[in-house]
C-alpha cells in the first residue's frame, strides 16, 4: 500500500469529534514531544476529539512530525496539553493562507486526557459531521451514527419592514 505524501493512514475515528468555532479557540504547537518553547506557532482549532484535532497555522508542518499542542477551548478553564504527530496536511490550493492540518494524539500531559473527556462530555461544542474524519475524508459505512449529530434546519421568516416591503431572512435552528 502506497502512502500519500499529505497524510498518514489511520484506523479511523474511534471517538466522537466536535466542531470548534475557530475565533473562540487557540492552539500553540511546538515541534517535538515536550513543553512549549520559543519555536512554537499559534493557530486556531476547527475540530477536536480524544483522538486528535484539526487546526490551522500560518505554515504547514511536515507529515509525521512529532509535536506538542496546548489547546485553549471555549468554556474550558484550563489549557489542555497533548503530544502527537501530524497525520494530514490539507492541500495548498485549498489553503492559500493559513494551512489546515491534523494532529493525531499519542499521549497527554498528566490529567489532560481526563480534562478533555470531561469538557467534551459537557456539550460545550457541536458534534462534527459523523460521516467524515478529522482530515475530511469519508468514514466507512457503519461507523457514522445519525443520533450523534445534532440535526439542524433552515427556516424562512418573512417580516414587514417600516416601508411595508417584505423582507426574508434565513435562520438556522436546532431540530433537537
Q: Where are the domains of the chain?
A: 18-127
Fold classification of 18-127 (topology level): Thrombin, subunit H (2.40.10)
The DSSP output letter for 128 is P
Residue with cell string 416591503: 165
- Distance (Å, whole) CA 113 – CA 84: 13
What is the structure's pLDDT at 175?
46
Quick: pLDDT tens for 52-107: 999 999 989 999 999 999 999 999 989 999 999 999 998 877 766 789 999 999 99
Task: Assign 7 a pLDDT band (cuts: 50, 70, 90).
Answer: very low
- Distance (Å, whole) CA 53 – CA 147: 22
What is the structure's pLDDT at 133?
76
**Residue 38 CB burial class (10 angstroms; 0-12, 13-18, ≥19):** exposed
Sequence-separated (6 or more) residues with CB below 8 Å from residue 93: none
- Provide the mean pLDDT of the chain: 77
Quick: pLDDT tens for 117-136: 999 999 889 888 777 777 77
Higher pLDDT, 93 or 173: 93
Q: What is the pTM of this model?
A: 0.69
* Nearest CA among 85, 8, 6, 73 for reference residue 44: 73
Task: Assign 8 a pLDDT band (cuts: 50, 70, 90).
Answer: very low
Percent of the chain at pLDDT exceeding 90: 44
- Chain centroid offset of residue 152 CA: 19
Amino acid at each position: 500500500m502506497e502512502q500519500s505524501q499529505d497524510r498518514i493512514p489511520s484506523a479511523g475515528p474511534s471517538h466522537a469529534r466536535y466542531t470548534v468555532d475557530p475565533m473562540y479557540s487557540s492552539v500553540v504547537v511546538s515541534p517535538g514531544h515536550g513543553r512549549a518553547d520559543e519555536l512554537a506557532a499559534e493557530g486556531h482549532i476547527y475540530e477536536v476529539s480524544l483522538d486528535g484535532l484539526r487546526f490551522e497555522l500560518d505554515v504547514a508542518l511536515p507529515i509525521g512530525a512529532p509535536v506538542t499542542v496546548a489547546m485553549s477551548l471555549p468554556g474550558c478553564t484550563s489549557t489542555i496539553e497533548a503530544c502527537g504527530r501530524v497525520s494530514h496536511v490539507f492541500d495548498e490550493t485549498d489553503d492559500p493562507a493559513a494551512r489546515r492540518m491534523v494532529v493525531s494524539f499519542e499521549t497527554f500531559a498528566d490529567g489532560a486526557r481526563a480534562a478533555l473527556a470531561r469538557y467534551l462530555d459537557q456539550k460545550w461544542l457541536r458534534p462534527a459531521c459523523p460521516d467524515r474524519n478529522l482530515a475530511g475524508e469519508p468514514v466507512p459505512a457503519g461507523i457514522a451514527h445519525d443520533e450523534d449529530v445534532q440535526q439542524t434546519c433552515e427556516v424562512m421568516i418573512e417580516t414587514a419592514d417600516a416601508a411595508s416591503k417584505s423582507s426574508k431572512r434565513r435562520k438556522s435552528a436546532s431540530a433537537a
